[in-house]
Chains A and B, each alone.
Chain A
Amino acid sequence: MSSSNSVEGSYSKRCAACKHLRRRCAEDCVLAPYFPATHPERFECVHKIFGAGNVARMLKTLPVQERAQAADSLSAEAYWRVRDPVYGSTGIVIQTNQEISATQCELAKIRAQISMYEARRASEQQPPPPPAVLPQQQGPLGPQESMPMFEPNDPFNFLN
């Protein structure tokens, strides 16, 4: 009776991985700290995509202090792969890259507008050059009024 109780006791302490795999959960089970029995879906996801053996092997190759982060990132990738069986977490990478391109484009447009405003403000703050005094020219048509100067650098006449 007591032995069956102790067996039941040890079974109840199994991690999600060993419960799912229906095996005894050893005291040094590498998966137990990261796949507790309270979250069985986390292990099921990871097992479906990577396989318990691969996950255990990957965690064993890492120093203990890095295993929690590795288990979390594997769980995240497995979750994204289950949600999107074609692109998985690569789909998130593609989406984020597209977001970056769109934001860079928007930023470049706004910066170009800012440059235009700054150029206009700078030209408005400059005192206008004194008008050139030219002798009136008399041609066959009579005295000619001076024509406004066409400034090749100021085609929209910002300076006047």
Chain B
Amino acid sequence: MGGNTPCASCKLLRRRCAKECIFAPYFPPEDPHKFAIVHKVFGASNVSKMLQDLPVHQRADAVSSLVYEANARMRDPVYGCVGAISYLQHQVSQLQMQLAVAQAEILCFQMQQQDSSSPSMAQKECSHKSSL
């Protein structure tokens, strides 16, 4: 990647793509949009610092999450990824309410079952005592 084809970041930044370019493994030249969007939101130097602070095996995931957040910010310049989180947390609240209602219903059924079975249990006890 270094000598012949510059990576997407070095192409955009118009610089020589070194052999040890930190961006090259994660921003291939075939997908220039990916780096463009991350550069627009975070800035190339900030992304470089963030990647340098991480062990190599975690950098791919970090890039994926940065791309995700940059895309979210481009789609929603006011709330970005936070907007998506608010929406999902609202879904969680709704589901938890539905779960609570369903659990209450199950409890009712179980209590009804107990009530219907307890008279027969009382009868059995009575007949056992009388046989003694």
Contacts and interface: CB of A to CB of B under 8 A. Distances in A.
Interface of A: 48-51, 53-54, 58, 61-62, 66, 69-70, 72-74, 76-77, 81, 85-93, 96-97, 99-100, 103-104, 106-107, 110-111, 113-114, 117, 121
A74 B41 CA distance: 10
Contacts of B40: 54
Interface in B69-121: 69, 73, 77-85, 88-89, 91-92, 95-96, 98-99, 102-103, 105-106, 109, 112
A114 B69 contact: no
B82 A89 contact: yes
Nearest to B81: A89
The 5 closest A-B pairs by CB, nearest first: A90-B65, A73-B82, A117-B109, A96-B88, A103-B95
Interface in B17-46: 40-43, 45-46
Interface of B: 40-43, 45-46, 50, 53-54, 58, 61-62, 64-66, 68-69, 73, 77-85, 88-89, 91-92, 95-96, 98-99, 102-103, 105-106, 109, 112
Nearest to A89: B81
A88 B82 CA distance: 11
Contact of A104 (B73, B95, B103): B95
A97 B87 CA distance: 11
Contact of A93 (B46, B54, B88): B88
Nearest to A75: B82
Contacts of B79: 69-70, 73
A59 to B, nearest CB: 9
Contacts of A85: 50, 53-54, 62
A7 B91 CA distance: 52
Contacts of B54: 85-86
A37 to B, nearest CB: 23
B46 A114 contact: no
Contacts of B103: 110
